[in-house]
Amino acid sequence: MIDLLKQRADRYAELGKLIEDPEVYGNSKLFAQYQRERGSLREQAETYAQLVSLKEQMAGSEEIINDPAADSEMKELAEVELAELQEKHDALWQEAQDMILLDDEDDSRDVILEIRGAEGGDEATLFARELMENYARWCAHHKFKLETLDEVESEVGGLKSGTYRVKGEGVWRWFKYEGGGHRVQRVPSTEAQGRIHTSLATVAVLPEMEDVDIEVKESDLEIKAARSGGPGGQNVNKTSSRCQMRHLPTGIMVDCQSTPSFHKNRDEALRILKSKLYQMEKEKRDRELAEKRGAMVGSGGRGDKVRTYNFPQDRCTDHRAKVSLPLTKVMAGDIDELIEACRQWEKEEKLKALAKQSA
């Protein structure tokens, strides 16, 4: 695994030279691509440099310990230093392994977040709204910037669908585990008999694409202007600023009404569409790779029920990591422990896949 880390450190150095090349600097698409790749490798390159430095220091201590001419006091100091260096090296090596196993080409990207009330009618939309508010608390705690791109409310004040942008360093690395089906079990306020109902909200987490990343033909787009709407479809804008965009080859629909300007909403809709197309292609590649290695690892896609929120039992269970936490804690926006458990789950799944590959 150290060889892989060295390869990435070498690539980081190579990219540093490439982005200084005038030909690359003059090519906006290539320059952005190299910059993003270099940003995703920075942490691994720095870790490799630290590991090399620690190894050199350890070799120096071992040389003193094995030197017949060194006095006993010097050897004793060298042994203490070697033990400390070894401890630092082992801890850093564990971090390096995590970096390699959890490495994602999209770690440096911002996020497009979609939340929908799925199965369960009004109750599903109410829970979708609660999920959104929960993510807003989590983003505020971590200093991530949350922007609303589009929202459609239900008659009861829930969230039929919402599209948002989340910006911040490392946001994809942590937020990607939220993608999938979120099931809620509770007694609705309208339930007179006290029966527990089960509803479902879906969450899609997409890496945001830059304009230079993916090309979309204008002829492949069907674009309509509509009036922005409020709760229940009530018009709140007399101008047709809302952009409804359909990608004809795939049938993907995007709706954006984040600004009073149709042209700005059109640009936002196109960015969201590109993110969806990129994620679709990425999931296709992931499936093909998983089939080749003979072990399909669940991706936490929107079709998977990844988490259950059981209100009567005050329990939130993540079905991938097989961990449960108090629901009151989770719904207060404290989902870090769940995310960390998912990162550990992903690491274990990848280690299993590597073991099967080498078997």
The CATH code of the domain that includes 277 is 3.30.70.1660
My answer on whether 166 and 56 are in the same domain is no
54 pLDDT above the threshold of 80: yes
293 pLDDT above the threshold of 70: no
According to the model, what pLDDT value does residue 212 have? Answer: 52
More confident: 285 or 130: 130
My answer on whether 23 and 88 are in the same domain is yes
Confidence band, pLDDT 50/70/90 cuts, at residue 239: low
Instruction: Examine residue 162 and state whether it is found in any structural domain, yes or no.
Output: yes
Q: Which of 26-40, 156-170, 308-322 has the lowest mean pLDDT?
A: 26-40
Confidence band, pLDDT 50/70/90 cuts, at residue 289: low
Instruction: Examine residue 358 and state whether it is found in any structural domain, yes or no.
Output: no
Q: How many domains does the chain have?
A: 2
According to the model, what pLDDT value does residue 109 have? Answer: 85
Run of H or E residues at 221? strand 221-226
Q: Which of 91-100, 174-183, 347-356 has the lowest mean pLDDT?
A: 347-356
According to the model, what pLDDT value does residue 295 have? Answer: 33
According to the model, what pLDDT value does residue 203 have? Answer: 94
Q: Which of 33-37, 86-90, 320-324, 343-347 has the lowest mean pLDDT?
A: 33-37
My answer on whether 72 and 134 are in the same domain is no
My answer on whether 75 and 164 are in the same domain is no
According to the model, what pLDDT value does residue 87 have? Answer: 96
Q: Which of 62-71, 72-81, 224-233 has the lowest mean pLDDT?
A: 224-233
Domain extent for 83 = 2-101
Residue that is last in its domain, among 55, 72, 101: 101
Angle formed by the axes of helices 262-293 and 336-358, nearest 10°: 40
- Burial call 225-245: b when 16+ CB within 10 Å, e when fewer: eeebbeeeeeeeeeeebbbbb
My answer on whether 78 and 211 are in the same domain is no
Instruction: Examine residue 357 and state whether it is found in any structural domain, yes or no.
Output: no
**Whose CA is closest to 275, among 257, 252, 293?**
252
Instruction: Examine residue 278 and state whether it is found in any structural domain, yes or no.
Output: yes
Average pLDDT over residues 166-187: 92
My answer on whether 80 and 136 are in the same domain is no
My answer on whether 181 and 87 are in the same domain is no
My answer on whether 88 and 122 are in the same domain is no
Instruction: Examine residue 356 and state whether it is found in any structural domain, yes or no.
Output: no
Instruction: Examine residue 106 and state whether it is found in any structural domain, yes or no.
Output: no
Does the global pTM surpass 0.85?
Answer: no
Cα 181 from Cα 300, distance rounded (Å): 8
Q: Which of 8-17, 32-41, 158-167 has the lowest mean pLDDT?
A: 32-41
According to the model, what pLDDT value does residue 359 have? Answer: 63
180 pLDDT above the threshold of 60: yes
Residue that is last in its domain, among 38, 68, 101: 101
303 pLDDT above the threshold of 50: no
> For residue 251, how far is the Cα from the chain centroid?
25
Confidence band, pLDDT 50/70/90 cuts, at residue 234: very low
According to the model, what pLDDT value does residue 300 have? Answer: 33
My answer on whether 208 and 234 are in the same domain is yes
According to the model, what pLDDT value does residue 302 have? Answer: 38
CB of 197 within 8 A of CB of 154? no
Instruction: Examine residue 325 and state whether it is found in any structural domain, yes or no.
Output: yes
My answer on whether 36 and 122 are in the same domain is no
